[in-house]
């Protein structure tokens, strides 16, 4: 009896395996980059997908092994289905490196786009989520997803889906990500877009973006005014609530590649940069991307609760004391790898 | 009734711990009517204390006669009327199996987007689990101890790879908002204490110190839950508000060195643990039904259990408003883990005073 059962199950496995709805990799569209644009009430989904599965390319190292396919429809799901109909393949999101959202889509439909890709677990949290200055499709047509991904990660401002979507959920914290632009044939991530609860707030220019990178502690060979190169940065923020207004002490430690005599000048330049950026973010944009409200919350929860409904007024009145400490190293490589 | 020792305390601890872990993997923020996992850390501490209260009546019943499981106690103390309680327990074990299996189907179908027929997936799990259940507790325990060790290693590995992802700024002061989220968390965590009614059926099989096993089990289950919540909250922060399965989301960001994309480990833990858990609940169902219908109808009971689990787990998501409702699950769990055992204890004391029992 047992032998019969064993034979039966073995034959079932061999003969019935084709009856499952499982699809092989050759029946799937392996995405590397996804672009979302929105115009005239229509979503345009563009996918940069791998074109060769299982075979080796005749010209190794040359030519595109990806292709771009687009589809437009009234909803994201329908647009994706349109792509699947065109190719006869199911979209496989798990290898996606970048999600690029066009400007108009980011300004009007960001909520729907992020929901589509996060709540359905379509994209991994590590996918870089970027905003295109014009159209997302133009970026994908110009550059490979790997290249976009490399550039976006070079000086990280925590622009992947996990941080971006997480910050959009926060009532007080602003979300930020790179603003992509193709200029003279090269891809640039030199500006940062700010959002607050899915609403487009503004753009930080190149200088403010550098301050952001320095304060985030992720500067790596960053060139600032005067061609000074910041090799590394580290920032520490503390808050004192004992006075009439919160007093933030922001200590920035820099490692720079230059002569010792110039360390005071570098310190002044970076201090001014950071102060101007904080002013812009707190006063102009009311977008707390540095989490100042969290420092207040962690220091004194009751104080935060008492002032929660007008926390931005509190932040505007606060004192921001920026101190920059510079350590210089012998300049081995005076050029910079940084993209900004 | 002569007691038959079949499994050691370590084996029983491993089995009940595994079943609790599998249920814990399905931890679902929307079902708990909450979107702040961090407040659930406090909930887990409170639930840990309450779990000792919940399991006390089941343990007391075991102490009265350690050769009898809860089904035996129902018939012994209430005679024919005990059948009502047996039906409740039978339904509970079927419900618990279907609940976990349906969430597994949802996870595989919607989250992992595997194009596998839910019917065949459920059939495969039910058939293998039923086979294990028919082999008895000893067979399940032997397989379970191996899976337990594999899962422990996997959990340690995931924790180590998640620690670098933790950001202190993702933590807020506990109970920053009001107590609602914490209370919802307590109710939700207690509603998932499926291992307590399961223990009521399995205790008589244990050879060794049951009291120590229960204490270590409670501390371990809630300890792991608290650790998981702490690390997941620190790693994902506000991103959790968009996620249905927070622990799965956390494993997809875990990385250390070359080890990345550890969500496959989550699926491995879920699948291995699922097999043991469904086997245990099916075994519990068989024991209850055999008490009610007799040993001779054994094959019928096995077939009945398998068909019920297969069909109900496929249909359960259609009635999600009822069957995935936290209050319903909480009431059902407390009924089987606490109220019915309390009623049995009261009955025992009454009969003891009358001299009808020793």
The pLDDT tens digits of the residues spanning A77-132 come to 999 999 999 999 989 998 899 999 999 999 999 999 999 998 877 888 889 999 99
Residue A204 sits at φ, ψ, to 5 deg, of -90, 130
Rounded mean pLDDT of chain A? 85
Inside any domain, residue B70: yes
The H or E element that residue B140 is part of is helix B137-162
Is position B2 within any domain?
Answer: no
Q: CA of A127: which chain B residue's CA is closest?
A: B253
- H or E element: which one contains A187? strand A186-196
Residue A298 with chain B: CB contacts under 8 Å: 172-173
In a domain, B147, yes or no: yes
Q: Mark yes or no for CB contact A125/B114 under 8 Å.
A: no
Q: Has residue B114 got a pLDDT over 90?
A: no
Q: What pLDDT is attached to residue A110?
A: 95
Q: For residue B252, what are the domain limits? A: 7-352
DSSP string of A250-317? Answer: EEEEEEEES-GGGHHHHHHHHHHHHHHHHHIIIIII--BTT-HHHHHHHH-HHHHHHTGGGHHHHHHH
Mean per-residue pLDDT of chain B: 89
Q: What is the pTM of this model?
A: 0.87
Mutant choice from A5, A22, A121 vs B, greatest count of B C-beta within 10 A: A121
Chain B interface, best mutation among A125, A167, A195, A305, by max B CB count within 10 A:
A125
Query: Which pair of structure tokens corresponds to residue A2?
Result: 């047992």
Q: What CA–CA distances, in Å, run from A148 to A37, A78, A103, A243, B253?
A: 17, 26, 17, 47, 21
- Contacts within 8 Å (CB) and 24+ apart, B229-233: B229/B37, B229/B38, B229/B40, B229/B41, B229/B44, B230/B41, B231/B159, B231/B162, B231/B163, B231/B166, B232/B37, B232/B162, B233/B37, B233/B38, B233/B41, B233/B170, B233/B171
Residues of chain A with Cβ-Cβ distance to B169 below 8 Å are 291, 294
Whether B341 is covered by a domain: the verdict is yes
Contact B251, B262 (CB under 8 A): yes
| The pLDDT of residue A261 | 63
Residue A172 CA, distance from chain mean position: 19
CA-nearest residue to A299 within chain B is B173
When scoring A16, A113, A124, A162 by the number of chain B Cβ atoms within 10 A, the one with the most, hence best to mutate, is A162
Please identify which residue in the block is written with the tokens 């930080």: A204
CATH of the domain at B77: 1.20.1740
Nearest in space to A34 (alpha carbons), one of A114, A153, A119:
A114
Phi-psi group of A221: left, alpha or beta (phi > 0 → left; psi -120 to 50 → alpha; rest → beta): left
B101 CB-contact burial (10 Å; exposed 0-12 / middle 13-18 / buried 19+): buried
Would you place residue B243 in the very low, low, confident or very high pLDDT band (cuts 50, 70, 90)?
Answer: confident
ipTM: 0.83
Domains of chain A by range and CATH?
Answer: 25-53+63-204 (3.30.420), 206-340 (3.30.300.210)
pLDDT at A337: 52
Q: Identify whether B131 is part of a domain.
A: yes
Residue B1 lies in a domain: no
Name the interface residues of A facing B (CB cutoff 8 Å): 20-23, 90, 114-115, 118-121, 124-126, 162-163, 165-167, 169-170, 173, 291, 294, 297-298, 301
Q: Helices then strands (H, E): number in chain A?
A: 12, 13
User: Quick check: is B358 in a domain?
Assistant: no
Strand partners, A324: A252
Domain count, chain B: 1
- Average pLDDT, integer, range B129-156: 92
Query: Which residue did the predictor score with more confidence, B319 or A15?
Result: B319
pLDDT at A267 over 60: yes
Mean pLDDT of the region A177-193? 87
Q: How large is the average pLDDT for residues B88-97? A: 95
Cα distance between residue B311 and residue B304, in whole Å: 11
What is d(CA B195, CA B51) in angstroms, rounded to the nearest whole number? Answer: 10
Interface contact flag, B116 A20, Cβ < 8 Å: yes
Q: What are the chain A neighbours of B253 within 8 Å (beta carbons)? A: 125-126, 162
CB A197 within 8 A of CB A168: yes
Token pair of B295, please?
């040993």
């Amino acid at each position: 009896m047992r032998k019969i059962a064993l034979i039966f199950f073995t034959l079932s496995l061999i003969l019935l395996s084709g009856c499952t709805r499982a699809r092989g990799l050759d029946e799937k569209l392996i995405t590397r980059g996804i672009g979302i644009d929105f115009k005239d009430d229509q979503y345009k989904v563009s996918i940069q997908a791998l074109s060769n599965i299982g075979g080796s390319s005749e010209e190794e190292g040359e030519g595109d092994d990806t292709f771009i396919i687009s589809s437009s429809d009234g909803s994201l799901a329908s647009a994706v289905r349109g792509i699947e109909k065109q190719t006869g393949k199911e979209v496989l999101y798990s290898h996606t490196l970048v999600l690029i959202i066009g400007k108009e889509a980011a300004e009007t439909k960001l909520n729907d786009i992020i929901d589509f890709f996060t709540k359905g677990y379509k994209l991994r949290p590590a996918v870089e989520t970027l905003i295109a200055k014009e159209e997302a499709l133009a970026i994908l047509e110009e550059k490979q997803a790997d290249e976009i991904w490399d550039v976006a990660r070079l000086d990280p401002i925590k622009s992947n889906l996990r941080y971006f979507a997480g910050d959009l959920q926060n009532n007080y914290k602003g979300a930020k990500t790179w603003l992509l632009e193709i200029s003279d044939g090269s891809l640039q991530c030199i500006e940062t877009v700010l959002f607050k609860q899915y609403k487009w707030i503004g753009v930080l220019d190149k200088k403010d973006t550098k301050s952001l990178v320095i304060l985030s502690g992720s500067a790596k060979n960053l060139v600032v005014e005067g061609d000074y190169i910041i090799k590394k940065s580290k920032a520490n923020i503390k808050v004192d609530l004992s006075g009439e207004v919160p007093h933030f002490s922001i200590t920035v430690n820099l490692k720079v590649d230059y002569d010792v005599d110039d360390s005071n000048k570098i310190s002044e330049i970076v201090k001014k940069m950071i102060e101007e950026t904080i002013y812009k973010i707190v006063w102009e944009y009311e977008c707390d991307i540095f989490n100042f409200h969290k420092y207040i919350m962690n220091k004194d929860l009751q104080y935060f609760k008492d002032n929660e409904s007008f926390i931005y007024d509190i932040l505007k009145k606060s004192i921001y004391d920026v101190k920059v400490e510079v350590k210089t190293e012998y300049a081995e490589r005076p050029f910079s790898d940084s993209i900004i | 009734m002569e007691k038959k020792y079949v499994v050691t305390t370590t084996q029983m601890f491993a089995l009940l711990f595994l079943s609790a872990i599998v249920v814990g993997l399905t931890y679902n923020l929307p079902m708990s009517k909450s979107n702040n996992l961090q407040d659930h850390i406090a909930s887990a501490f409170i639930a840990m204390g309450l779990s000792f209260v919940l399991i006390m009546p089941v343990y007391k019943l075991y102490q009265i006669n350690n050769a009898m499981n809860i089904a035996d106690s129902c018939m012994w103390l209430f005679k024919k009327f005990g059948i009502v309680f047996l039906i409740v327990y039978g339904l509970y074990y079927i419900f618990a199996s279907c609940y976990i299996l349906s969430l597994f189907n949802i996870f595989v179908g919607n989250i992992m987007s595997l194009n596998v027929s839910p019917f065949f997936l459920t059939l495969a799990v039910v058939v293998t689990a039923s086979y294990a259940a028919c082999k008895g507790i000893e067979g399940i325990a032997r397989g379970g101890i191996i899976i337990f060790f594999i899962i422990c290693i996997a959990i340690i590995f995931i924790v180590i790879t998640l620690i670098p992802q933790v950001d202190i700024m993702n933590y807020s002061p506990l109970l920053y908002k009001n107590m609602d989220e914490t209370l919802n968390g307590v109710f939700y965590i207690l509603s998932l204490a499926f291992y307590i009614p399961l223990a009521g059926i399995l205790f008589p099989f244990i050879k060794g110190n049951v009291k120590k096993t229960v204490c270590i089990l409670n501390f371990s289950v809630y300890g792991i839950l608290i650790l998981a919540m702490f690390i997941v909250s620190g790693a994902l922060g506000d991103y959790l508000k968009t996620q249905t399965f927070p622990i799965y989301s956390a494993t997809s960001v875990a990385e250390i060195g070359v080890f990345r994309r550890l969500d496959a480990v989550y699926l491995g833990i879920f699948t291995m643990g699922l097999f043991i858990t469904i086997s245990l609940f099916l075994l519990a169902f068989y024991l209850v039904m055999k008490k009610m219908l007799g040993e001779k109808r054994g094959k019928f009971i096995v077939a009945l259990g398998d068909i019920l689990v297969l069909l109900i787990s496929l249909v359960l998501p259609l009635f999600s408003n009822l069957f995935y409702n936290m209050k319903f699950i909480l009431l059902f769990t407390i009924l089987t883990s606490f109220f019915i055992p309390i009623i049995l204890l009261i009955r025992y004391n009454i009969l003891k005073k009358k001299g009808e029992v020793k």
